C-alpha cells in the first residue's frame, strides 16, 4: 500500500507576510493529525527560507516550483538545486504545464533538470498532462507516454524510488473542471503500466502518482479513492489553510 502525498503548489502567490500567515494557520489546523499522509508545500523562491524556518519541528515538508540544471554561473534569473537545498527544500516540482506552455520548457530540458535534481539530493515531482485539444484528438495516451519517457530518459530504477509523477490534465488546471475520478484513474493506470514496461513491476508499484487539476475539498476524496491515485498536487485550493487541510484530511481517511 502506497502512502498518500499531498503537495501544495502556491505558484506566483504569497509575499513574506502572507507566507507567514498561511503556514502558521496550516500548522495549527493540520497539527499532528497527518496520519500516514505526507504534506509538502511549494511556495515561491522568495518565501522558501522563511518557510523552512516556520516549518522547523513540523512534519510538513518544503519544495520549490522549479530550478535550473546547473549549480552556479551566469544564468540570470535562475535558481540552482544547491540554493534550493540550502534554503531547506527537499522536493522540487519540474515540468509543470505552466513552465511548458508559458516558458517553453521541453521534455529534453525537463529531463536535464530531473537528472540534476536527483544528483543534488532533491526529490522531483515531475508533471505530465495533455491539453484539451490533445484529449479531443484522442491522443492523451501518446502525449502522456512521450512526456513520461522524455522526462525519465536515462533515469535508473534506483533513482525512480525518489521520483513522484503528477498527472495534471492541462484543461483541468485552474479551470474548475477536474477530470472525473475515472478519467484520472485511466491515465494513472497507463502511467504505472508504462513505468512497469520501462523498469519493472516493483518500481511501478512503489511509484507515487499524484493527480492535479482543480482538486478541491469536495472532489478530493473521490479522486483519492482510486487505486492508482496516490495523492494530489493542489494549486488554487492550497492557498487557504482551510481548504488545503480538508483535502489533506480526505487523503487521511481513504
Ligand atoms: P489548480 O492547479 O489546483 O489550481 O487547478 C493545480 C496545479 O497546477 O498544480
Active site residue 96: yes
Task: State the distance from the centre of ligand 1 to the C-alpha of 174, rounded, in angstroms.
Answer: 5
CA nearest neighbour of 127 among 112, 140, 114: 114
Give residue 52's domain range.
4-253
Number of domains in the chain: 1
pLDDT at 234: 98
Would you say the CB of residue 173 lies under 6 angstroms from ligand 1? Answer: yes
Ligand 1 centroid to residue 170 C-alpha, Å: 9
Count of beta carbons in the 10 Å neighbourhood of residue 49 = 16
For residues 148-172, give the mean pLDDT.
Answer: 97
Centre of ligand 1 from the C-alpha of residue 173, in Å: 5
Catalytic site residue from 105, 134, 168, 185: 168
Give the residue, by CA position, lying nearest to ligand 1 atom 9: 235
CATH of the domain at 141: 3.20.20.70
Mean pLDDT calculated for residue range 160-166: 98
- Residue of minimum CA distance from atom 1 in ligand 1: 235
The per-residue pLDDT for 97 is 97
pLDDT in tens, 64-112: 999 999 999 999 999 999 999 999 999 999 999 999 999 999 999 999 9
pLDDT computed for residue 31 by the predictor? 72
State pTM to two decimals: 0.97
Q: Whose CA is nearest to atom 2 of ligand 1?
A: 235
Is pLDDT of 27 > 70?
Answer: yes
Q: What is the pLDDT of residue 69?
A: 98
Amino acid at each position: 500500500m502506497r502512502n498518500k502525498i499531498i503537495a501544495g503548489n502556491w505558484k506566483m502567490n504569497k509575499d513574506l507576510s502572507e507566507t507567514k500567515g498561511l503556514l502558521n494557520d496550516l500548522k495549527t489546523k493540520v497539527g499532528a493529525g497527518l496520519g500516514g499522509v505526507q504534506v509538502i508545500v511549494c511556495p515561491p523562491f522568495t518565501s522558501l527560507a522563511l518557510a523552512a524556518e516556520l516549518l522547523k519541528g513540523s512534519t510538513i515538508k518544503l519544495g520549490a516550483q522549479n530550478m535550473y540544471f546547473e549549480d552556479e554561473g551566469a544564468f540570470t534569473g535562475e535558481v540552482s538545486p544547491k540554493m534550493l537545498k540550502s534554503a531547506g527544500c527537499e522536493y522540487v516540482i519540474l515540468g509543470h504545464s505552466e513552465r511548458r506552455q508559458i516558458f517553453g520548457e521541453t521534455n529534453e530540458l525537463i529531463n536535464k533538470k530531473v537528472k540534476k535534481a536527483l544528483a543534488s539530493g532533491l526529490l522531483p515531482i515531475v508533471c505530465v498532462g495533455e491539453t484539451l485539444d490533445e484529449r479531443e484528438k484522442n491522443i492523451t495516451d501518446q502525449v502522456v507516454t512521450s512526456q513520461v519517457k522524455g522526462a525519465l530518459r536515462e533515469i535508473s530504477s534506483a533513482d525512480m524510488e525518489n521520483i513522484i509523477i503528477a498527472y495534471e490534465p492541462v484543461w483541468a488546471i485552474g479551470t474548475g473542471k477536474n477530470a472525473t475520478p475515472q478519467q484520472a484513474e485511466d491515465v494513472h493506470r497507463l502511467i504505472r503500466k508504462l513505468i512497469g514496461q520501462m523498469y519493472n513491476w516493483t518500481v511501478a508499484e512503489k511509484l507515487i502518482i499524484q493527480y492535479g487539476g482543480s482538486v478541491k475539498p469536495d472532489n478530493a476524496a473521490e479522486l483519492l479513492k482510486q487505486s492508482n491515485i496516490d495523492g494530489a498536487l493542489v494549486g488554487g485550493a492550497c492557498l487557504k489553510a482551510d481548504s488545503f487541510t480538508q483535502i489533506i484530511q480526505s487523503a487521511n481517511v481513504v
